[in-house]
Structure 1
Amino acid sequence: MITEKTLFAQHVEKGLSSTQKFLSSMYFYDKKGEALFREIMNLEEYYLTDCEMEILRVQGNEIAKAIGNEPLDIIELGAGDGIKTKELLKHFDFENVTYSPIDISEQAIIDITAKMKEWLPQLNTKGICGDYFKMIGDFKSDRKKVILFLGSNLGNMTDDQARGFLGQLHQVMNTGDSILLGLDLIKSEDIVLPAYSDSKGVTAQFNLNLLERINRELGGNFDTSQFEHLATYNEKEGIAKSFIRSKIDQTVIIKETEGSYSFKKGELIHTEVSRKYDLDIIRKIIDGTSLQLKYQFTDHRQYFTNLIFTKI
């Protein structure tokens, strides 16, 4: 059986051996990374969390009415701490609803299940630990369902990846099932860029922790003081990117991959894409599916949107 450690090592070997080096953002979230991301979500510059929280808190009842109150399975992909989701769930008839948060972090599932029992004790919560990308086929059922994909997590995919992912979800949905999608809208650089390069340097720590994780888990010898975080944003395309940049010419050895990796001064490791959207972009992504945009909700600044797509 291939272990998670082996998969991590294989990914690192592939990414650091490529002409344009890369490491996937999915590996940001070890215990330290999760703690740093919680800190990021509370930063003033990181507007995404507050904007979506506002939508779910102020318009949660309208969203719940739009989804409907018949017997329903609510499946949340990448549930996190559940604080935002609680603001939506409290508007449903708990006798008719089963809530299934899915997260790759076992501790996150333990925590959110306990919190939901405290916050909404009558809600039937069934937490699932796993990689939702690999579990999509398990979502198929006869009950009506709504899939929650919040936090603009879709934006961490390329448009082609997002199209494929939504196409997979579409395949396991029945007619009348819905997706509630949270998306960050295209804005000016002075608003977006600080969200990925904050003044306190927490995002830099978060990005560089990926190298520290390689050191801890794979026996790497990265000197993180010789690397730095870099964020860019192309306002015309609506795409923010994160990189780790080498400050000097250097070579790194990783025991688990049995490899050495050379870096030129200024060379980049691409770690994350954060796509921003408008309705034209999202319509192109869902083109070819029978998903139909039914409802749109935005925060008061028009920074963020939650969209309901229904399979027709």
Structure 2
Amino acid sequence: MTAAPLKHLLHDDDLAAALRADVRSGLSDDPKWLSPKWFYDARGSELFEQITELPEYYPTRAEREVLTAHAGDIASVTRAKTVVELGSGASVKTRLVLSALDDAGCLEAFVPLDVSAAALAESAHAIAADYPRVRVQGIVGDFTRHLSSIPGGGERLVLFLGGTVGNLLPDERSQLLGGLRAVLEPGEWLLLGTDLVKDPARLVPAYDDAAGVTADFNRNVLRVVNRELGGDFDVEAFEHVALWNAEREWIEMRLRASRDMTVQIPALDLTARFAAGEDLLTEVSSKFRRDGVARELAASGFALRHWWTDGQSRFGVSLAQAQ
């Protein structure tokens, strides 16, 4: 079965407007920030795929270990007919779940949602080719804005993997989980991947690898601003910094100005001034504990039914049911 044409809820004009709004807000704020969503142009996506293969970056391998061990359990518990994936990307780990449900004879439809139309089209066609009995309908959209467009019915299982939920601030997580609960029927399912709190000596290198790939990925947000908005950031003049915030239990990725700089963003008629040593926050990555995950799910109307970790307890995968 071939994939259905993509359903576009986001267009180039929408993305351009969102970028302009984010950059204006972030560079005018104190302290300054830029949203991590703008890492992921073609180069940024390629760099992130390289990051997932680095020896220091354990989350991808740890989550894959969990899904490999428990995909059959997920299929037998949920008996889901429709799988919805938020921020699907290449849907690599997703195939473990899809295959288990397909083998169980219950999978009928797959609905990946992602902001990148090109990546979504490629993965949707690949999934459709490999799972010929499954209807594939990709949605080009933002999971923070377009949850209400997820098709109804079909005994759904929503996947939100990769620890991406950790890139949302607590209020944003609450809004997302609440929005998901609003579109799901009682009894439907959410499979959530969360990186776990651990020794900072293990955590920090995952965001500051020896080869410098993460540093290049972090600086890529400046290249995007330069290309799309005519900015004149001196990209290499910003040092990559990864810090563990013990109070908030999250990693902070920052770009630190190596000297005094004045940056012009012509498309916004904006001037941003950086002092030497000033930090620009680009990402937070929250780490979780089982009790905290259960509380956040419960507050949004989900009951934690199953909790699995890899053999080293680095990464947690929760199977929760809408109440």
Same fold (TM over 0.5): yes
Structure 2 residue 104 is the aligned partner of structure 1 residue 97: no
Contact 1:186–1:235 (CA under 8 A) maintained in structure 2: no
Shift of 1:224: 1.1
Q: Deviations over 1:176-229 (max 9, x none)?
A: 111000111111011110110011101110110110111111000111121111
Structure 2 residue 39 is the aligned partner of structure 1 residue 28: yes
Contact 1:187–1:238 (CA under 8 A) maintained in structure 2: no
1:156 aligned residue (150, 162, 167): 167
- Relative to 1, partners in 2 of residues 1:262 and 1:197: Cα closer, same or farther, differing over 3 Å? same
2:93 aligned residue (65, 81, 84): 84
Contact 1:188–1:235 (CA under 8 A) maintained in structure 2: no
Structure 2 residue 154 is the aligned partner of structure 1 residue 119: no
2:225 aligned residue (214, 219, 225): 214
- Relative to 1, partners in 2 of residues 1:92 and 1:283: Cα closer, same or farther, differing over 3 Å? closer
Structure 1: which amino acid aligns with 2:44? G
- Relative to 1, partners in 2 of residues 1:96 and 1:40: Cα closer, same or farther, differing over 3 Å? closer
Shift of 1:249: 0.6
Q: In the TM superposition, what are the counterparts of 1:300-311 in structure 2 within 5 Å?
A: 300-311=311-322
Contact 2:88–2:114 (CA under 8 A) maintained in structure 1: yes
- Could you tell me which residue of structure 1 aligns to residue 75 of structure 2? 64
Q: Deviations over 1:217-267 (max 9, x none)?
A: 100011112111110013454211100110001100011011111000010
**Equivalent-residue separation in structure 2 for 1:173 and 1:251 (angstroms):** 48
Q: Name whichever of 228-237 and 270-279 sits farther off.
A: 228-237
Secondary structure of the 2:259 match is: coil
**Equivalent-residue separation in structure 1 for 2:139 and 2:182 (angstroms):** 21
**Equivalent-residue separation in structure 2 for 1:221 and 1:47 (angstroms):** 35
Secondary structure of the 1:91 match is: helix
**Equivalent-residue separation in structure 2 for 1:218 and 1:138 (angstroms):** 30
Q: Where in structure 1 are there 5+ consecutive unaligned residues?
A: none
Structure 2 residue 157 is the aligned partner of structure 1 residue 146: yes
- Could you tell me which residue of structure 1 aligns to residue 237 of structure 2? 226
Contact 1:10–1:257 (CA under 8 A) maintained in structure 2: no
Structure 2: which amino acid aligns with 1:164? Q
Contact 2:34–2:281 (CA under 8 A) maintained in structure 1: yes
Contact 2:108–2:133 (CA under 8 A) maintained in structure 1: no
Contact 2:107–2:134 (CA under 8 A) maintained in structure 1: no
TM-score, normalisation: structure 2: 0.92
Q: In the TM superposition, what are the counterparts of 1:7-22 in structure 2 within 5 Å?
A: 7-22=18-33
1:110 aligned residue (92, 102, 121): 121
- Relative to 1, partners in 2 of residues 1:81 and 1:140: Cα closer, same or farther, differing over 3 Å? closer
Shift of 1:125: 1.9
**Equivalent-residue separation in structure 1 for 2:286 and 2:20 (angstroms):** 27
Shift of 1:139: 2.2
Query: Over the residues paired in the alignment, what is the CA RMSD in angstroms?
Result: 1.6
TM-score, normalisation: structure 1: 0.95
Task: Figure out how many residues of one structure are paired with residues of the other and give that number.
Answer: 310
- Could you tell me which residue of structure 2 aligns to residue 239 of structure 1? 250
**Equivalent-residue separation in structure 2 for 1:305 and 1:279 (angstroms):** 8
- Relative to 1, partners in 2 of residues 1:236 and 1:133: Cα closer, same or farther, differing over 3 Å? closer
1:53 aligned residue (56, 61, 64): 64
**Equivalent-residue separation in structure 2 for 1:256 and 1:63 (angstroms):** 48
Shift of 1:65: 1.0
**Equivalent-residue separation in structure 2 for 1:14 and 1:117 (angstroms):** 40
- Relative to 1, partners in 2 of residues 1:308 and 1:227: Cα closer, same or farther, differing over 3 Å? same
**Equivalent-residue separation in structure 1 for 2:180 and 2:128 (angstroms):** 28
Structure 2 residue 212 is the aligned partner of structure 1 residue 189: no
Percent identity of equivalent pairs = 33
Secondary structure of the 1:274 match is: strand
